[in-house]
Structure 1
Amino acid sequence: MRAVVFDFFGTLTDPGIEAGRRGAFAATAALLGVPAEPFCTAMSTSFGERITGRHGHTRPMLRAMAARCGAEPSEAQLDAAVAAHHAGSARLWAPRPGALETLALLRAAGFRIAVLSDCGAELCDGWPSTPYAPHVDATVFSWQEGCRKPDPRLYATAAQRLGVAARECWFVGDGGSREHQGARAAGMRPVLVTNAGYPGAWRFRDDPDTFVPELTIDHFPEVYRLIVPVKA
Protein backbone atom coordinates (compact mmCIF):
# COMPACT_ATOMS: atom_id res chain seq x y z
CA MET A 1 0.00 0.00 0.00
CA ARG A 2 1.48 3.29 -1.11
CA ALA A 3 -1.22 5.94 -0.74
CA VAL A 4 -4.19 7.10 1.32
CA VAL A 5 -7.26 8.79 -0.17
CA PHE A 6 -9.31 10.76 2.36
CA ASP A 7 -12.85 12.03 2.29
CA PHE A 8 -12.99 15.66 3.45
CA PHE A 9 -16.17 16.67 5.30
CA GLY A 10 -16.63 14.82 8.57
CA THR A 11 -13.40 12.92 8.04
CA LEU A 12 -10.62 15.50 7.95
CA THR A 13 -12.89 18.31 9.11
CA ASP A 14 -14.33 18.57 12.62
CA PRO A 15 -17.65 16.66 12.58
CA GLY A 16 -18.96 18.84 15.39
CA ILE A 17 -18.89 21.91 13.17
CA GLU A 18 -21.28 20.41 10.61
CA ALA A 19 -24.20 21.43 12.81
CA GLY A 20 -23.35 25.03 11.90
CA ARG A 21 -24.07 24.54 8.21
CA ARG A 22 -27.72 25.49 8.53
CA GLY A 23 -26.81 28.69 10.34
CA ALA A 24 -24.39 29.58 7.55
CA PHE A 25 -27.14 29.02 4.99
CA ALA A 26 -29.52 31.20 7.01
CA ALA A 27 -27.00 34.06 7.05
CA THR A 28 -26.65 33.84 3.27
CA ALA A 29 -30.43 33.72 2.87
CA ALA A 30 -30.88 36.92 4.87
CA LEU A 31 -28.50 38.79 2.57
CA LEU A 32 -30.37 37.49 -0.48
CA GLY A 33 -33.68 38.66 0.98
CA VAL A 34 -34.98 35.10 1.22
CA PRO A 35 -36.56 33.41 4.27
CA ALA A 36 -34.18 30.93 5.86
CA GLU A 37 -36.44 27.87 5.78
CA PRO A 38 -37.12 27.68 2.03
CA PHE A 39 -33.53 28.61 1.25
CA CYS A 40 -32.14 25.85 3.46
CA THR A 41 -34.54 23.42 1.80
CA ALA A 42 -33.42 24.55 -1.65
CA MET A 43 -29.77 24.12 -0.71
CA SER A 44 -30.43 20.66 0.70
CA THR A 45 -32.48 19.33 -2.21
CA SER A 46 -30.04 20.74 -4.78
CA PHE A 47 -26.97 19.13 -3.19
CA GLY A 48 -26.30 16.76 -6.07
CA GLU A 49 -26.70 19.55 -8.61
CA ARG A 50 -24.49 22.00 -6.76
CA ILE A 51 -21.59 19.64 -6.12
CA THR A 52 -21.39 18.57 -9.76
CA GLY A 53 -21.24 22.11 -11.11
CA ARG A 54 -24.69 22.32 -12.70
CA HIS A 55 -25.17 25.87 -11.39
CA GLY A 56 -21.62 27.08 -11.94
CA HIS A 57 -19.70 29.15 -9.41
CA THR A 58 -21.10 30.52 -6.18
CA ARG A 59 -22.75 33.63 -7.62
CA PRO A 60 -24.95 31.95 -10.27
CA MET A 61 -25.63 29.12 -7.84
CA LEU A 62 -26.98 31.50 -5.21
CA ARG A 63 -29.02 33.32 -7.83
CA ALA A 64 -30.56 29.99 -8.85
CA MET A 65 -31.33 29.04 -5.24
CA ALA A 66 -32.93 32.44 -4.61
CA ALA A 67 -35.05 31.99 -7.74
CA ARG A 68 -36.30 28.67 -6.39
CA CYS A 69 -37.49 30.62 -3.39
CA GLY A 70 -39.25 33.17 -5.60
CA ALA A 71 -36.69 35.95 -5.16
CA GLU A 72 -34.60 38.02 -7.58
CA PRO A 73 -31.74 39.50 -5.54
CA SER A 74 -29.95 42.61 -6.73
CA GLU A 75 -26.31 42.56 -7.73
CA ALA A 76 -25.45 44.28 -4.44
CA GLN A 77 -27.34 41.61 -2.51
CA LEU A 78 -25.50 38.92 -4.45
CA ASP A 79 -22.15 40.57 -3.71
CA ALA A 80 -22.86 40.41 0.02
CA ALA A 81 -24.33 36.91 -0.13
CA VAL A 82 -21.37 35.49 -2.05
CA ALA A 83 -18.93 36.90 0.50
CA ALA A 84 -21.00 35.54 3.39
CA HIS A 85 -21.38 32.14 1.76
CA HIS A 86 -17.65 31.82 1.20
CA ALA A 87 -16.97 32.82 4.81
CA GLY A 88 -19.59 30.43 6.15
CA SER A 89 -18.25 27.59 4.02
CA ALA A 90 -14.68 28.20 5.20
CA ARG A 91 -15.73 27.93 8.84
CA LEU A 92 -16.89 24.37 8.12
CA TRP A 93 -13.40 23.39 6.93
CA ALA A 94 -11.82 23.55 10.40
CA PRO A 95 -9.62 20.48 10.96
CA ARG A 96 -10.69 17.86 13.44
CA PRO A 97 -8.25 17.24 16.31
CA GLY A 98 -5.27 15.27 15.06
CA ALA A 99 -6.08 15.56 11.36
CA LEU A 100 -3.16 17.72 10.25
CA GLU A 101 -0.72 15.86 12.47
CA THR A 102 -1.87 12.51 11.05
CA LEU A 103 -1.49 13.73 7.47
CA ALA A 104 2.04 14.90 8.24
CA LEU A 105 2.95 11.57 9.86
CA LEU A 106 1.61 9.57 6.93
CA ARG A 107 3.58 11.61 4.42
CA ALA A 108 6.69 11.30 6.56
CA ALA A 109 6.15 7.52 6.47
CA GLY A 110 6.24 7.67 2.67
CA PHE A 111 2.55 7.61 1.79
CA ARG A 112 1.08 9.73 -0.99
CA ILE A 113 -2.05 11.58 0.15
CA ALA A 114 -5.18 12.59 -1.78
CA VAL A 115 -8.47 14.21 -0.83
CA LEU A 116 -11.60 13.11 -2.69
CA SER A 117 -14.63 15.21 -1.82
CA ASP A 118 -18.19 15.84 -2.89
CA CYS A 119 -18.10 19.62 -2.66
CA GLY A 120 -19.11 22.90 -4.25
CA ALA A 121 -17.06 25.61 -5.90
CA GLU A 122 -16.20 27.18 -2.56
CA LEU A 123 -13.78 24.44 -1.50
CA CYS A 124 -12.27 24.26 -4.98
CA ASP A 125 -11.54 27.99 -4.89
CA GLY A 126 -10.39 28.09 -1.28
CA TRP A 127 -8.35 24.89 -1.13
CA PRO A 128 -4.87 26.41 -1.65
CA SER A 129 -5.27 28.58 1.45
CA THR A 130 -6.49 25.78 3.74
CA PRO A 131 -4.14 24.22 6.31
CA TYR A 132 -4.62 20.85 4.59
CA ALA A 133 -3.08 21.83 1.27
CA PRO A 134 0.61 21.54 2.27
CA HIS A 135 0.00 17.95 3.42
CA VAL A 136 -1.87 16.71 0.33
CA ASP A 137 -0.40 15.55 -2.98
CA ALA A 138 -3.60 15.47 -5.07
CA THR A 139 -7.23 16.56 -4.90
CA VAL A 140 -10.31 15.27 -6.67
CA PHE A 141 -13.32 17.56 -6.22
CA SER A 142 -16.74 16.62 -7.55
CA TRP A 143 -17.53 20.19 -8.63
CA GLN A 144 -14.50 20.23 -10.92
CA GLU A 145 -14.96 16.67 -12.19
CA GLY A 146 -18.71 16.93 -12.93
CA CYS A 147 -19.64 13.76 -11.06
CA ARG A 148 -20.01 12.64 -7.45
CA LYS A 149 -19.18 9.63 -5.31
CA PRO A 150 -19.44 6.70 -5.75
CA ASP A 151 -18.70 7.31 -9.47
CA PRO A 152 -15.70 5.10 -10.32
CA ARG A 153 -14.09 7.88 -12.35
CA LEU A 154 -13.36 9.83 -9.19
CA TYR A 155 -11.44 6.99 -7.56
CA ALA A 156 -9.55 6.25 -10.77
CA THR A 157 -8.63 9.93 -11.05
CA ALA A 158 -7.37 10.00 -7.47
CA ALA A 159 -5.10 7.00 -8.06
CA GLN A 160 -3.87 8.44 -11.36
CA ARG A 161 -3.00 11.80 -9.81
CA LEU A 162 -1.14 10.05 -7.03
CA GLY A 163 0.80 7.95 -9.52
CA VAL A 164 -0.28 4.65 -7.98
CA ALA A 165 -2.68 1.81 -8.75
CA ALA A 166 -6.07 1.88 -7.02
CA ARG A 167 -5.25 -1.41 -5.30
CA GLU A 168 -2.33 0.38 -3.61
CA CYS A 169 -4.66 2.91 -1.95
CA TRP A 170 -6.44 3.01 1.34
CA PHE A 171 -9.69 4.99 1.36
CA VAL A 172 -10.66 6.64 4.65
CA GLY A 173 -14.05 8.27 5.18
CA ASP A 174 -17.06 8.68 7.45
CA GLY A 175 -19.41 6.90 5.06
CA GLY A 176 -21.41 9.57 3.23
CA SER A 177 -22.22 9.45 -0.48
CA ARG A 178 -21.79 5.65 -0.59
CA GLU A 179 -18.09 6.41 -0.72
CA HIS A 180 -16.95 3.08 0.71
CA GLN A 181 -18.95 1.14 -1.86
CA GLY A 182 -17.20 3.18 -4.51
CA ALA A 183 -13.78 2.64 -2.97
CA ARG A 184 -14.27 -1.12 -2.73
CA ALA A 185 -15.51 -1.32 -6.33
CA ALA A 186 -12.48 0.69 -7.47
CA GLY A 187 -10.09 -1.73 -5.77
CA MET A 188 -9.13 0.49 -2.84
CA ARG A 189 -9.19 -0.76 0.75
CA PRO A 190 -11.87 1.16 2.68
CA VAL A 191 -11.69 2.24 6.31
CA LEU A 192 -14.73 3.70 8.08
CA VAL A 193 -14.27 6.54 10.57
CA THR A 194 -17.27 6.05 12.86
CA ASN A 195 -17.00 9.45 14.57
CA ALA A 196 -18.04 7.72 17.79
CA GLY A 197 -17.11 10.82 19.76
CA TYR A 198 -19.63 12.92 17.82
CA PRO A 199 -23.16 11.61 18.53
CA GLY A 200 -25.53 12.59 15.76
CA ALA A 201 -22.80 13.29 13.20
CA TRP A 202 -24.37 10.65 10.94
CA ARG A 203 -27.32 13.00 10.38
CA PHE A 204 -25.15 15.20 8.18
CA ARG A 205 -24.13 12.45 5.76
CA ASP A 206 -25.80 12.61 2.38
CA ASP A 207 -26.73 9.25 0.80
CA PRO A 208 -25.00 7.16 3.49
CA ASP A 209 -23.34 3.82 2.79
CA THR A 210 -25.19 0.58 3.32
CA PHE A 211 -21.85 -1.22 3.00
CA VAL A 212 -19.81 -1.21 6.20
CA PRO A 213 -16.08 -1.84 5.69
CA GLU A 214 -14.37 -4.60 7.60
CA LEU A 215 -11.93 -2.06 9.01
CA THR A 216 -13.38 0.67 11.23
CA ILE A 217 -11.88 3.21 13.61
CA ASP A 218 -13.64 5.36 16.19
CA HIS A 219 -11.06 8.12 16.49
CA PHE A 220 -9.15 9.71 13.63
CA PRO A 221 -5.57 9.37 14.95
CA GLU A 222 -6.10 5.58 14.86
CA VAL A 223 -5.67 5.86 11.08
CA TYR A 224 -1.91 6.07 11.42
CA ARG A 225 -1.65 3.08 13.75
CA LEU A 226 -3.85 1.03 11.43
CA ILE A 227 -2.11 1.88 8.18
CA VAL A 228 1.58 2.28 8.87
CA PRO A 229 2.34 -1.21 10.26
CA VAL A 230 1.09 -2.79 7.02
CA LYS A 231 2.71 -0.34 4.60
CA ALA A 232 4.78 -3.12 3.04
Structure 2
Amino acid sequence: MSAPAAAPNGAERPHTAFPKAVLFDLDGTLLDSAPDMLAVANAMRADRQLPPMPMQPLRAQVSKGSRAMLGATFPDLDPAERDARVPEFLERYERELGRHGAPFEGVEAMLSALEAAGCVWGIVTNKPEYLASKLMPLLGWQTRCAVLIGGDTLSARKPDPLQLIVAAERIGIAPQDCVYVGDDERDIIAARAAGMASVVALWGYRLDHDDPLAWQGDALIDSPAQLVEADAWPATR
Protein backbone atom coordinates (compact mmCIF):
# COMPACT_ATOMS: atom_id res chain seq x y z
CA MET A 1 0.00 0.00 0.00
CA SER A 2 2.89 2.33 -0.59
CA ALA A 3 2.16 5.73 -2.03
CA PRO A 4 4.80 7.45 -4.15
CA ALA A 5 7.04 9.79 -2.21
CA ALA A 6 5.88 13.33 -2.73
CA ALA A 7 6.86 16.83 -1.83
CA PRO A 8 4.87 18.55 0.92
CA ASN A 9 2.83 20.39 -1.72
CA GLY A 10 1.83 17.13 -3.39
CA ALA A 11 4.22 17.34 -6.36
CA GLU A 12 6.35 14.34 -7.24
CA ARG A 13 9.73 14.26 -5.59
CA PRO A 14 12.18 16.10 -7.87
CA HIS A 15 15.42 14.55 -6.61
CA THR A 16 16.83 11.48 -4.89
CA ALA A 17 18.56 12.83 -1.77
CA PHE A 18 17.94 11.77 1.79
CA PRO A 19 16.54 14.51 4.05
CA LYS A 20 18.97 16.51 6.17
CA ALA A 21 17.25 15.20 9.28
CA VAL A 22 14.63 12.61 10.17
CA LEU A 23 12.66 12.55 13.41
CA PHE A 24 10.85 9.38 14.40
CA ASP A 25 8.04 8.40 16.67
CA LEU A 26 9.18 5.51 18.89
CA ASP A 27 6.49 2.93 19.72
CA GLY A 28 4.96 1.51 16.57
CA THR A 29 7.47 3.25 14.33
CA LEU A 30 10.99 2.31 15.37
CA LEU A 31 10.17 -0.09 18.17
CA ASP A 32 7.74 -2.99 18.38
CA SER A 33 7.09 -2.52 22.09
CA ALA A 34 3.72 -4.32 22.12
CA PRO A 35 5.24 -7.52 23.61
CA ASP A 36 6.53 -5.52 26.60
CA MET A 37 3.13 -3.89 27.01
CA LEU A 38 1.36 -7.25 26.87
CA ALA A 39 3.61 -8.60 29.62
CA VAL A 40 2.62 -5.61 31.77
CA ALA A 41 -1.08 -5.96 31.01
CA ASN A 42 -1.15 -9.66 31.81
CA ALA A 43 0.81 -9.21 35.03
CA MET A 44 -1.76 -6.63 36.14
CA ARG A 45 -4.62 -8.94 35.15
CA ALA A 46 -3.05 -11.91 36.97
CA ASP A 47 -2.80 -9.86 40.17
CA ARG A 48 -6.56 -9.36 39.91
CA GLN A 49 -7.32 -13.04 39.21
CA LEU A 50 -8.14 -12.37 35.57
CA PRO A 51 -7.03 -14.60 32.68
CA PRO A 52 -4.36 -13.39 30.25
CA MET A 53 -5.48 -11.32 27.30
CA PRO A 54 -4.36 -11.86 23.68
CA MET A 55 -2.03 -9.50 21.87
CA GLN A 56 -4.31 -7.96 19.25
CA PRO A 57 -6.68 -5.84 21.41
CA LEU A 58 -3.68 -4.31 23.18
CA ARG A 59 -1.43 -3.94 20.13
CA ALA A 60 -3.92 -1.67 18.40
CA GLN A 61 -3.81 0.71 21.38
CA VAL A 62 -0.05 0.97 21.98
CA SER A 63 0.40 4.22 20.04
CA LYS A 64 -2.53 5.76 21.95
CA GLY A 65 -0.73 5.61 25.32
CA SER A 66 -1.07 4.00 28.73
CA ARG A 67 -4.68 5.05 29.34
CA ALA A 68 -5.82 3.50 26.06
CA MET A 69 -3.90 0.31 26.82
CA LEU A 70 -5.46 0.13 30.28
CA GLY A 71 -8.85 0.56 28.64
CA ALA A 72 -8.13 -2.52 26.52
CA THR A 73 -6.70 -4.42 29.49
CA PHE A 74 -9.65 -3.65 31.78
CA PRO A 75 -12.56 -2.76 29.49
CA ASP A 76 -15.06 -2.56 32.38
CA LEU A 77 -13.16 0.17 34.25
CA ASP A 78 -14.61 3.64 34.38
CA PRO A 79 -12.22 6.45 33.31
CA ALA A 80 -11.35 7.48 36.89
CA GLU A 81 -10.38 3.93 37.90
CA ARG A 82 -8.41 3.51 34.69
CA ASP A 83 -6.48 6.72 35.29
CA ALA A 84 -5.72 5.62 38.85
CA ARG A 85 -3.91 2.56 37.47
CA VAL A 86 -1.61 4.53 35.16
CA PRO A 87 1.23 4.83 37.75
CA GLU A 88 1.13 1.06 38.33
CA PHE A 89 1.20 0.43 34.57
CA LEU A 90 4.22 2.70 34.08
CA GLU A 91 6.06 1.23 37.08
CA ARG A 92 5.56 -2.30 35.80
CA TYR A 93 6.49 -1.27 32.26
CA GLU A 94 9.77 0.17 33.50
CA ARG A 95 10.64 -3.29 34.84
CA GLU A 96 9.72 -4.97 31.54
CA LEU A 97 11.42 -2.33 29.39
CA GLY A 98 13.11 -3.88 26.36
CA ARG A 99 12.76 -7.44 27.67
CA HIS A 100 10.31 -8.67 25.03
CA GLY A 101 10.07 -6.05 22.27
CA ALA A 102 12.63 -5.17 19.59
CA PRO A 103 13.08 -2.78 16.67
CA PHE A 104 10.84 -3.60 13.72
CA GLU A 105 12.45 -5.60 10.96
CA GLY A 106 14.33 -3.26 8.65
CA VAL A 107 14.76 -0.45 11.18
CA GLU A 108 18.48 -0.98 11.72
CA ALA A 109 19.15 -1.06 7.97
CA MET A 110 17.12 2.14 7.57
CA LEU A 111 19.01 3.95 10.34
CA SER A 112 22.35 2.79 8.94
CA ALA A 113 21.39 4.09 5.48
CA LEU A 114 20.48 7.48 6.95
CA GLU A 115 23.74 7.66 8.88
CA ALA A 116 25.78 6.65 5.82
CA ALA A 117 24.15 9.51 3.92
CA GLY A 118 25.06 12.01 6.64
CA CYS A 119 21.45 12.37 7.78
CA VAL A 120 20.85 13.29 11.41
CA TRP A 121 18.07 11.36 13.15
CA GLY A 122 16.27 11.67 16.45
CA ILE A 123 13.17 10.59 18.35
CA VAL A 124 10.07 12.54 19.31
CA THR A 125 7.65 10.39 21.30
CA ASN A 126 4.70 10.82 23.63
CA LYS A 127 6.25 8.16 25.89
CA PRO A 128 7.59 9.71 29.12
CA GLU A 129 11.16 10.86 28.54
CA TYR A 130 12.66 8.86 31.41
CA LEU A 131 11.32 5.62 29.91
CA ALA A 132 12.43 6.49 26.37
CA SER A 133 15.88 7.44 27.66
CA LYS A 134 16.27 4.10 29.44
CA LEU A 135 15.56 2.31 26.17
CA MET A 136 18.38 4.00 24.26
CA PRO A 137 21.31 1.95 25.67
CA LEU A 138 19.23 -1.23 25.50
CA LEU A 139 18.85 -0.63 21.77
CA GLY A 140 22.40 0.63 21.21
CA TRP A 141 21.07 4.03 20.14
CA GLN A 142 22.38 6.24 22.94
CA THR A 143 25.19 7.71 20.83
CA ARG A 144 23.33 7.57 17.50
CA CYS A 145 20.11 9.39 18.36
CA ALA A 146 20.82 13.12 18.04
CA VAL A 147 17.81 14.32 20.02
CA LEU A 148 15.21 12.66 22.24
CA ILE A 149 12.04 14.44 23.34
CA GLY A 150 9.35 12.67 25.36
CA GLY A 151 5.75 13.36 26.05
CA ASP A 152 6.58 15.10 29.33
CA THR A 153 9.69 16.98 28.18
CA LEU A 154 7.83 20.14 27.19
CA SER A 155 4.57 21.90 27.98
CA ALA A 156 2.72 20.27 25.05
CA ARG A 157 2.92 17.05 23.09
CA LYS A 158 1.69 15.63 19.80
CA PRO A 159 -0.54 16.48 18.00
CA ASP A 160 0.78 19.88 19.10
CA PRO A 161 3.87 20.69 16.97
CA LEU A 162 5.98 22.01 19.87
CA GLN A 163 8.00 18.81 20.36
CA LEU A 164 8.94 18.68 16.68
CA ILE A 165 9.84 22.35 16.52
CA VAL A 166 12.06 22.10 19.60
CA ALA A 167 13.69 18.89 18.31
CA ALA A 168 14.62 20.68 15.08
CA GLU A 169 16.05 23.59 17.10
CA ARG A 170 18.16 21.24 19.20
CA ILE A 171 19.75 19.58 16.18
CA GLY A 172 20.18 22.91 14.42
CA ILE A 173 18.16 22.03 11.33
CA ALA A 174 15.13 23.99 10.13
CA PRO A 175 11.80 22.14 10.36
CA GLN A 176 11.36 22.53 6.60
CA ASP A 177 14.50 20.41 6.13
CA CYS A 178 13.24 17.61 8.41
CA VAL A 179 10.92 14.67 7.86
CA TYR A 180 8.84 13.15 10.64
CA VAL A 181 7.91 9.44 10.58
CA GLY A 182 5.03 8.10 12.66
CA ASP A 183 2.27 5.51 12.76
CA ASP A 184 -0.51 7.60 14.32
CA GLU A 185 -2.64 10.43 12.97
CA ARG A 186 -1.33 12.69 15.74
CA ASP A 187 2.15 12.31 14.26
CA ILE A 188 1.05 13.54 10.86
CA ILE A 189 -0.97 16.43 12.31
CA ALA A 190 2.04 17.54 14.38
CA ALA A 191 4.39 17.31 11.41
CA ARG A 192 2.11 19.38 9.21
CA ALA A 193 1.73 22.06 11.90
CA ALA A 194 5.52 22.14 12.39
CA GLY A 195 6.14 22.61 8.66
CA MET A 196 7.75 19.19 8.25
CA ALA A 197 7.15 16.62 5.56
CA SER A 198 5.76 13.38 6.95
CA VAL A 199 5.90 9.63 6.41
CA VAL A 200 3.04 7.39 7.54
CA ALA A 201 4.54 4.18 8.95
CA LEU A 202 1.99 1.63 7.77
CA TRP A 203 3.80 -1.16 9.63
CA GLY A 204 2.85 0.35 13.00
CA TYR A 205 -0.12 0.17 15.37
CA ARG A 206 -3.56 1.21 14.16
CA LEU A 207 -7.18 0.72 15.15
CA ASP A 208 -9.42 -1.11 12.69
CA HIS A 209 -11.27 2.05 11.74
CA ASP A 210 -8.14 4.15 11.18
CA ASP A 211 -7.70 5.36 7.60
CA PRO A 212 -4.08 6.40 7.08
CA LEU A 213 -4.86 7.73 3.60
CA ALA A 214 -7.12 10.31 5.19
CA TRP A 215 -4.24 11.61 7.34
CA GLN A 216 -2.70 13.17 4.21
CA GLY A 217 0.90 12.33 4.97
CA ASP A 218 3.45 13.08 2.27
CA ALA A 219 4.35 9.41 1.83
CA LEU A 220 2.82 6.12 2.97
CA ILE A 221 5.40 3.38 3.45
CA ASP A 222 4.78 -0.32 4.10
CA SER A 223 8.12 -1.28 5.64
CA PRO A 224 11.23 0.36 7.11
CA ALA A 225 13.25 -1.57 4.55
CA GLN A 226 11.83 0.66 1.80
CA LEU A 227 13.38 3.70 3.48
CA VAL A 228 16.94 2.58 2.81
CA GLU A 229 16.45 4.16 -0.62
CA ALA A 230 16.69 7.94 -0.89
CA ASP A 231 13.87 8.22 -3.41
CA ALA A 232 11.38 6.70 -0.96
CA TRP A 233 11.57 9.82 1.20
CA PRO A 234 9.32 12.84 0.63
CA ALA A 235 11.08 15.94 -0.59
CA THR A 236 11.84 18.76 1.80
CA ARG A 237 12.41 22.33 0.69
Counterpart for residue 178 of structure 1: 186
1:214 to 218, 224, 233: 218
Partners of 1:145 and 1:181 lie apart in 2 by 18
Letter of the 1:219 counterpart: S
SS in 2 for 1:144: coil
SS in 1 for 2:103: coil
Instruction: Pick the structure with more helix per residue.
Output: 1
1:148 to 152, 157, 174: 157
Superposed counterparts of 1:198-213, under 5 Å: 201-203=205-207, 210-213=214-217
Mean alpha-carbon deviation: is it higher for 20-29 or for 141-150? 20-29
- Mark the CA change 1:148 to 1:135 in structure 2 (over 3 Å): closer, same or farther: same
Mean alpha-carbon deviation: is it higher for 95-104 or for 127-136? 127-136
Counterpart for residue 111 of structure 2: 103
Q: What TM-score does the superposition give when structure 2 sets the normalisation length? A: 0.65
Q: How many residues align?
A: 194
Calculate percent identity across the aligned residue pairs.
26
Contact 1:34 1:66 in 2 (8 A): no
Instruction: Determine whether 1:124 maps to 2:133.
Output: yes
Contact 2:127 2:151 in 1 (8 A): yes
Report the aligned-residue RMSD: 3.9
With CA pairs under 8 Å and 6+ residues apart, which has the higher RCO, 1 or 2? 2
Contact 1:104 1:135 in 2 (8 A): no
- Mark the CA change 1:126 to 1:12 in structure 2 (over 3 Å): closer, same or farther: closer
Instruction: Determine whether 1:68 maps to 2:76.
Output: no
Q: Any unmatched runs of 5+ in structure 2?
A: 1-18, 52-56, 68-79
Q: Any unmatched runs of 5+ in structure 1?
A: 51-63, 70-77
- Mark the CA change 1:36 to 1:115 in structure 2 (over 3 Å): closer, same or farther: farther
Counterpart for residue 73 of structure 1: none
Partners of 1:179 and 1:131 lie apart in 2 by 24
Contact 1:6 1:116 in 2 (8 A): yes
Displacement of 1:28 in angstroms is 4.3
Which string of whole-angstrom CA distances, capped at 9 and with x for unpartnered residues, describes residues 128-172 of structure 1? 443233321111111222432111211111101111000000111
